[in-house]
Homo-oligomer: A and B are copies of this chain.
Amino acid sequence: MFQINEDYLKLQGSYLFSTIAKKIQVFQEENPEKDLIRLGIGDVTRPLVPAIIEALHKAVDEMADAKTFHGYAPELGYEFLRSAMAKNDYTDRGCDISKDEIFISDGAKGDSGNIQEIFAKDNKIAVCDPVYPVYVDTNVMAGRTGTFNKETEMWSDVIYMPCTKENDFKPELPKETPDIIYLCFPNNPTGSTITKDELQVWVDYANKVGAVIIYDAAYEAYITRDNVPHTIYECKGARTCAIELRSFSKNAGFTGVRLGAAVIPKDIKRGEVTLHQLWARRHGTKYNGAPYIVQRAGEAVYSPQGKEQIKDQVGYYMKNAKVIYEGLKEAGYNVSGGVDAPYIWLETPKNMTSWQFFDYLLEKANVVGTPGSGFGPSGEGYFRLTAFGSYENTLAAIERIKNI
């Protein structure tokens, strides 16, 4: 008689953004006349840029002709895309990553959820708190996190690294030694980031204790300051301890196109076994490649026109970030993030909990944001707004918030 994976039942509630979607649905059914502005889930709103559209049409036409038709993709991904990434994201930045260390995927959410599979079940993870829920939830599903304490809202076998205004939203090295460390800079959800020197401390620490860093670089395109690293491989020694996850969702608007990559240097080993070879085996066995037309779209992101156009698009969102950041400051909120990231992180006023503030903003301003507590216990009392709306909606949302 089949039995279910009991670890799934340990998951708390449903996935954060599903809960928000359901709350919005109820609100809209009860208030059909209200015009909601969504600055909650990190979904982009700008159309794909012309260079990408052109590449997509061209690839579609290739699929219409037997001579240029493409079936199953190569397991790692097409060479044209891996080469473009290796050059633009790594070699041109002076980082030593080869195209054979890049595994093309259908996005960073899947990679960040699946990567834990190649590690032993009793390995201990460390996460920033607050944190993107996928890192923890997928480890819960794998039975790696122990028991949940409803009082503290923490898992017994997870090492939490609080990121609050007290430490400027930067994690400190944990007291207990982890095996796997999840880091994301520029950070989701806090919008904060760390300098290259600060990241070097983490790389040195991981190499010292034999930990691996899963480095989520999804928001790299939003970096504006010089001393903030665009990839963890800018740090010395990262090739022996760091996996990097790349996304096309936020730099090029691919949330509905689906493309990402995991970078696994061949130097990360345990005994004779490399993590590269384990991930290659997983890719070959459980995955069948990103669509050809999507990989061509990804290639266009690195063309001269593509680069120019997506730079403008990122600029558009960063103008929104400034509107939110400055507008909230004016309105008397304590705000952070928004300088090297599309996320603005604010303290909820009047001792409201994050979910109280979510309801308050939904009802009073008809603006949707994301409750900080949904990202972990140290997110309680905070709230996330994203810069991915239209400029007009962003202006309107901030006006509404100011006028509550």
Contact = CB atoms under 8 A, between A and B. Distances in A.
B270 A2 contact: yes
Given A56-B293, A141-B117, A209-B1, A288 B258 contact: yes
A153 to B, nearest CB: 18
Given A2-B180, A9-B273, A212-B2, A110 B66 contact: no
Contact of A287 (B14, B63, B109, B119): B109
Nearest to A274: B4
Interface in A259-301: 270, 273, 275, 278, 281-282, 284-294
Contacts of A180: 2
Contacts of A75: 18
A20 interface: no
Nearest to A50: B64
Interface in A26-79: 41, 43-48, 50, 53, 56-57, 60-61, 63-66, 69-73, 75
Contact of A118 (B5, B65, B273): B5
B288 A2 contact: no
B11 A281 contact: yes
Interface in A285-319: 285-294
A98 interface: no
Contact of A48 (B69, B211, B286): B69
A255 interface: yes
Interface residues of A, number: 82
Nearest to A3: B120
A210 B11 CA distance: 25
Nearest to A48: B63
Given A56-B63, A210-B2, A270-B4, A47 B18 contact: no
A117 B6 CA distance: 11
Contacts of A258: 106, 288-291
A122 B2 CA distance: 9
A11 B291 CA distance: 27
Nearest to A111: B286
A169 B69 CA distance: 34
A5 B179 CA distance: 13
Contacts of A133: 285
Contacts of A390: 66
A43 B60 contact: no
A296 to B, nearest CB: 11
A114 interface: yes
A323 interface: no
A292 B273 CA distance: 38
A113 interface: yes
A134 interface: yes
A80 interface: no
Given A45-B71, A255-B288, A291-B291, 5 more contacts: A5-B117, A6-B120, A8-B278, A45-B66, A69-B253
Interface of A: 1-6, 8-9, 11, 14-15, 18, 41, 43-48, 50, 53, 56-57, 60-61, 63-66, 69-73, 75, 106-107, 109-110, 113-114, 117-123, 133-134, 137-138, 141, 179-180, 209-212, 253, 255-258, 270, 273, 275, 278, 281-282, 284-294, 390
